[in-house]
Amino acid sequence: MKRVLKSFLMKLLTFSLTRARKEQGYEPLVLKLENIIPDLKDQYSTFVVEGKYLETKVRNQHAFQVQLIMDALKPLKELNRDIVVVDIGDSSGNHLIYLNKLLGNLDTVSVNLDKVAIEKIRSKGLKAIYSYAEDLHNNSEFNKETDIFFSLEMLEHLENPTGFLKNMAERAVCKRFALSVPLINKSRVGLHQIRNMNFDIPMSPENTHIYELSPDDWDLLFKFSGWKVVKRVKYTQYPRSSYLFFMKYLWRKLDFDGFYGVILEKDDTYSKRYG
């Protein structure tokens, strides 16, 4: 009986994801990205993306993220040279492959503290730096003359996201920073392995959320840390305007509403008032 219920739940969630991406306009990009990278099994180091539900979920997430980054890159296309793009927290190199195929003229660098991920990325012919995100500004391999940073579902894994954002604002040269985080209705501390006493799941920087904040609270931290938000985007894993709207309560129970993305530019209006 449990197996039947689980199968039904996975089909319902997959249907919700399929309807959500069509409603929110991501269907064409999902298909383009699937043609570029047909197999996502190497996306993460701690688990394998397989099965209809998980693959649909990650495909949608990638389309949302890639669209956010492409929107952030639009003003930089006028540069008469390759655009320097740095992915902080890159686990596979897949997003940089997407962007190179879709846009071209990019000089890309990946950053991760997972040596498995670094080797995986380098094996694809991409440049990668082994570094903690918080220490990136001190890394001798890192070229601080960067046009755009992006970081996808990484901030919630950091012990000190405010310090990281502040260091990037003050010590790294860039024109823009594109970020995405889980879309949470009400801010909370994550640490779900401890909260649920699930000690079978190891705690690592890749699979442990520390801070899970609402969009309003993230926006406050961005301002406090030396950034202004020039664009906000929300992707929900459920349709917003159909009978499946009730699915948001199920997603909140099992996962997240979706994902919240921002495009940032430096602005010390608030950060300079502290200290």
Boundaries of every domain in the chain:
2-273
Q: For a pLDDT cut of 90, what percent of the chain falls above it? A: 71
User: Smallest Cα–Cα separation from 92: which of 59, 131, 45, 25?
Assistant: 45
Structural tokens at position 214 = 């609402």
Between CA 167 and CA 171, with CA 99 as vertex, the angle to 5 degrees is: 10
User: Smallest Cα–Cα separation from 265: which of 135, 117, 127, 148?
Assistant: 148
Considering only CA atoms, give the Rg of the chain.
19
pLDDT, mean of residues 167-195: 89
Residue 246 has a pLDDT of: 87
The pLDDT tens digits of the residues spanning 182-193 come to 999 999 887 777
198 compared with 33, residue with greater pLDDT? 33
Q: Which alpha helices (DSSP H) does the chain contain, by range?
A: 2-23, 27-36, 52-73, 94-102, 115-122, 161-171, 192-195, 215-224, 247-254
Residue 143 has a pLDDT of: 64
pLDDT at 198 over 90: no
Indicate the pTM of the whole model: 0.93
Determine which of 128-132, 145-149, 164-168, 197-201 has the lowest per-residue pLDDT on average: 197-201
Q: Domain 2-273's class?
A: alpha beta
The pLDDT tens digits of the residues spanning 223-264 come to 999 999 999 999 999 999 878 888 999 999 999 999 999 999
